[in-house]
């Protein structure tokens, strides 16, 4: 039986434009303690779908954990703008809290 990650990798291979599958794969990689690969996958989500708000929060969090505070802040700030434009208050608030925690 295939692992969840393997299934998600198949979904992404079958439809590279599917932001949800790519995002789910990134979260699965993080869960498997593979943060560098998760960062790459989240960057790809954003590159393919700049309006995928949740990806900014998770990418910023992983970058902050990796000690890349300046890059995390930049990602969070972009995500804050995207969330505001999308009228996604919940994610906007989460991103703002993450920015505040960096200070």
Which superfamily is assigned to 4-102 in CATH?
A: Tetratricopeptide repeat domain (1.25.40.10)
Residues 6+ apart with CB under 8 A from 35: 29, 62, 65, 66
Q: What is the pLDDT of residues 75-89, one digit of tens each?
A: 999 999 999 999 999
Read off the tokens for 71. Answer: 């890059």
Domain boundaries, the chain: 4-102
Kindly tell me if the per-residue pLDDT of 1 is higher than 90. Answer: no
Which residue, 62, 86, 34, 56, is CA-closest to 25? 34
Residue 61 has phi, psi (to 5 degrees) of -65, -45
Amino acid 94: pLDDT: 96
Q: Say how many residues make up the chain.
A: 103
Instruction: Note if the pTM is more than 0.85.
Output: yes
């Amino acid at each position: 039986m295939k692992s969840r990650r393997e299934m998600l990798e198949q979904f992404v291979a079958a439809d590279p434009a599917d932001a949800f599958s790519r995002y789910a794969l990134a979260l699965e990689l993080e869960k498997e303690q593979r943060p560098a690969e998760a960062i790459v996958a989240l960057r790809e989500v954003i590159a393919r779908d700049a309006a995928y708000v949740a990806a900014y929060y998770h990418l910023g969090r992983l970058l902050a954990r990796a000690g890349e505070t300046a890059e995390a802040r930049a990602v969070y700030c972009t995500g804050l703008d995207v969330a505001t434009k999308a009228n996604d208050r919940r994610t906007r608030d989460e991103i703002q809290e993450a920015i505040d925690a960096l200070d």
